[in-house]
Chain A
Amino acid sequence: MSTRKLSLKDKYRILTRDLEWEYSYRDYREIFKQEAFEGIKITDWSKWEDPFRLTMDAYWKYQAEKEKKLYAIFDAFAQNNGQQNVTDARYVNAIKLFLTGVSPLEYQAYNGFAHVGRQFGGVGARVACQMQSLDELRHVQTQIHAMSHYNKFFDGFQDFTHMHDRVWYLSVPKSFFDDARSAGPFEFMVAIGFSFEYVLTNLLFVPFMSGAAYNGDMATVTFGFSAQSDEARHMTLGLEIIKFLLEQHPDNVPVVQRWINKWLWRGTRVLTLVAMMMDYMLPNKVMSWKESFEVYFEEAASALFKDLARYGIEMPRYAETAILEKEHVSHQAWSIFYNYTHAAAFHTWMPDDKEMDWLSEKYPDTFDKYYRARFEHWRELERAGERYYNPTLPMLCQTCQIPMGFTEMDNPTLTAYRQSVYQGERYNFCSDGCKDIFDHEPEKYVQAWLPVHQIFQGNCGGPDIEDVLGDYYRINLGVDNMDFHGSPDEARWNAWHNLQPAEDKLKQAS
């Protein structure tokens, strides 16, 4: 037997493309049942260019090395009581949002890529999806491990998977991925592989990972570094799928364009959560949401879509609205969470004077004009011992499931309302983007599990809202929820650092 070592190229061919075989006794359409129903036409899978050339053995070896380093840093972080060295305890709420809202999406991505990795007739696409699937599984695991240390010292982390499936604001990211995973395999790839991983990924990961770096959270930063090379691969896969679909058949162009319109709108809506995290939850700011939107969306996307114009692809339909909204969404989202903090598993608070000034400086056209007075009013109420909590339940958008806190960009203090009547029933939306998505596939979105309506139907326990929050959502009431000021998190932090709560200082001074 020859023991000749294979060249890298041969090895790659044997371990990927050579895994394919001829289907001699079953019909191709029967094996790849989901390849045609979306209206995508594939004429020749052999034109698929593998976006990266990595074999399984190299993959395991490389990832194992990264993991060894990563876990060494997690250990060091724990041994050195790294939780005490973050900027201040408010920061940890950004991580709570990440663990409950984003990490479960990594798991959804793992499921989604494993599924589509079975559905494509082309072996190159199948192998690439399989690799990404493994990456995503690794991401969810390492994120949980990175953040588990915080669970020992801060509230709100304990039931993150349970909460992801039930809590009202977590239905936003959850339903986003449910939408993608219940679509056909090509739409999933345009939704997650291209729109999310290629176009929007920097708007999600840079804010969280730089946010961690600026706020002394070594565990999360290190996770970010260890995922970086994976993300580079995911981006090349996202770009390959788009180019491949567009080159295969001209009939694919309008289908792909519609998916791009839809998923970039869905994506920017989900990123509203990141926007408020950046502008409000980081004690040490990285940059404003507006600035990061300009760099990572406006500049990057305009170059990308210029490049895709040769296939007949245009800028995504709702990009103009999204660009105008960069001035508003973080403030609107923080207002939503401030209103309903009693129903959330993390804390909110009003910005202090210095932070208000930073917001005025970063949002010279909108913050003082529309938001500052509202926040100052809330701060006064809080000082008077009457911190404002909204006593009702909010109206939600049927598509993105976010409370209807967005406004008309030509009249920024007027709530944007859109409505469709489908088969005699009214459906309400936050935007043209969300309405158009519904109107195109109403039979999908009539099924939306809207948390507020579910509560009204009696499906989330009760009878009181407290029962829903405590028993059904499993929020530890008075502990995980409510304002940061007065929270057990704050009290513990102050005890570690011998700090006095702001109120006591005021009392002593007077």
Chain B
Amino acid sequence: MAVAAITPDYTGERLDRMENFNGNQVVYLGWDHHLMFCAPVAFAVQPDTLFSKVLDELIPGAFSQHPEFDRVDWGAVQWHLNGEAFTPQADVALIDQGVDHKSILRFNTPGLDGIAGTGS
């Protein structure tokens, strides 16, 4: 039983199925231990967006105001996709490397611990 309901075999409308996003999919981005950004951020992007766009546009757009942003060594960044370790390929489409609708991309920047080392 997937819900207690008066109607037998009740099913709910999936409000966020991908078809509703006009050709886009939702992707979430979070920078670990940098809570000056109060929560991970959400983007609606086309599934065939190259990962390089995430690196060159989305991430700077969301996180460049952090005082440590310019010091990020992008070669040393550790990525997670939906909780699993992940090695992104810059010139491959998101969907072709498993970044699908409502996926979470997290990155961790070793050596950078946030404002005054407090994870902010």
Contacts and interface: CB of A to CB of B under 8 A. Distances in A.
Interface of A: 33-34, 37-39, 183-184, 187, 332, 335-336, 338-340, 369-374, 377-378, 388, 390-396, 403-405, 407, 412-415, 417, 419, 425-428, 441-450, 452-453, 456-458
Given A445-B12, A458-B22, 13 more contacts: A370-B119, A378-B36, A388-B36, A417-B104, A425-B17, A426-B100, A443-B3, A443-B10, A443-B12, A446-B13, A453-B21, A456-B21, A456-B42
Contact of B30 (A332, A377, A415): A415
A336 B37 CA distance: 8
**Chain A's interface: helix, strand, loop or mixed, by majority?**
mixed
Contacts of B13: 446-447
Nearest to A441: B3
Nearest to A37: B6
Given A413-B35, A414-B33, A447 B12 contact: yes
A372 B118 CA distance: 9
B37 to A, nearest CB: 6
B90 interface: no
Given A34-B6, A426-B100, A449-B15, A377 B42 contact: no
Given A395-B41, A417-B106, A428-B102, A377 B120 contact: yes
A412 B119 contact: yes
A198 B24 CA distance: 45
B21 A457 contact: yes
Contacts of A184: 4, 6
Interface of B: 2-6, 10-17, 20-22, 24, 26, 28, 30, 32-33, 35-44, 61-62, 65, 67, 82-83, 100-104, 106, 114-120
Nearest to B102: A426
B50 to A, nearest CB: 20
A449 B10 CA distance: 18
A360 to B, nearest CB: 13
B4 A425 contact: no
Contacts of A339: 37-39
B69 to A, nearest CB: 13
Nearest to A332: B38
Contacts of B40: 394-395, 404, 415, 417
Contacts of B11: 443
Contacts of B82: 419, 426
Contact of A441 (B2, B30, B61, B116): B2
B80 to A, nearest CB: 9
A413 B15 contact: no
Given A37-B5, A413-B114, A446-B14, A391 B61 contact: yes
Contacts of B20: 457
Contacts of A444: 3, 12
B52 to A, nearest CB: 19
Given A395-B40, A443-B2, A450-B16, A419 B104 contact: yes
Given A374-B35, A413-B119, A428 B114 contact: no
A336 B30 CA distance: 14
Nearest to B41: A392
